[in-house]
Copies of this chain bind each other. A is one copy, B any other.
């Protein structure tokens, strides 16, 4: 459980118009990363399908169940290399509903599925939001969990995952440069030399004392330009692996010791979790206070 490991994020160019090629590209990147020595490999959100569907029918054609070819291939690779694959896929559930899901796959097969609970924009047109927290999966390298893209805008959600024991939070992502309906770019560089996503990941790691491995995508798809801001962050919020040059395609590698996440002590007398004051936060359900004390 405490062995050091290599975490990789494969920042890929996906193509919703050609899901077969997209699946193939993702599986090849996973195999290549394993061959290069990675133990845990993260791939983007919807890595079996691409993102910008024209309609529900197109989404349905690309979706797979957890016994589909994509997860079977990921499971085979995880088995062959005694590793872990964490990646997004368009999921066709038993009840025919589609979900924007993540699979956590170990050498023993699919160990956990998370269905994205905060859907962004047109995702609502084809996906049903999930209704459960992501699993925290015990692997030979440590406890891993996941969140997807817009999910990281909800710090109470990622905090809850950390409190459940996650040591590495894998974040498959498709982050667009422009917010739908807006003519301005997302705040990718205002004052910050880096996309704001990287600030969010660093903060999430630092506040919770966990590793974060965010895997974004690169390039363009049906007019959407992707930010390409993958990164791996230490429990102190240090960026261990930075996005590929020019925020393009490429695979990042970082050496991690997931057990380091178990130490929440900071300095001599503080602890990131024990210092929480939930009994005080609860009082905020009364809104509109204008005077304190």
Chain A interface residues toward B at CB < 8 A: 111-114, 117-118, 120-122, 124, 129-138, 150, 153-157, 159-161, 163-165, 179-182, 186-187, 190-194, 196, 198-200, 202-204, 206-207, 231, 234, 236-240, 242, 266-270, 272, 275-278, 280-281, 283-284, 287-293
Prevailing SS type, chain A contact patch: loop
Checking B154, B191, B283 against A207 with a beta-carbon cut-off of 8 angstroms, the contacting residue is B154
Known A284-B163, A292-B112: A202·B196 in contact at CB below 8 Å:
yes
What would be 11 A-B contacts, judged by CB atoms less than 8 Å apart? Answer: A114-B292, A130-B280, A132-B280, A135-B292, A136-B290, A138-B290, A153-B207, A154-B277, A155-B155, A155-B156, A164-B288
Residues A270 and B136 in contact, CB atoms below 8 Å apart = no
Are B196 and A117 neighbours in the complex by a CB distance under 8 Å? no
A132 to B280 alpha-carbon distance, docked (Å): 6
CB of A284 within 8 A of CB of B150, answer no
One complex includes copies of this chain to the number of 2
* Known contacts A134-B292, A155-B207, A190-B237: A281-B160 contact under CB 8 Å: yes
Nearest 3 Cβ contacts at the A-B interface: A191-B239, A190-B238, A135-B292
Determine how close the nearest CB of chain B comes to the CB of A225; give it in whole angstroms. 15
Residues of B within 8 A of A181 (CB): 267-268
CB distance from A103 to the nearest CB of B (A): 10
Bound CA–CA A181/B131 (angstroms): 43
Q: With both chains docked as a complex, state the minimum distance between the C-beta of A135 and any C-beta of chain B, in angstroms.
A: 3
A124 contacts across to B, CB distance below 8 A: 269
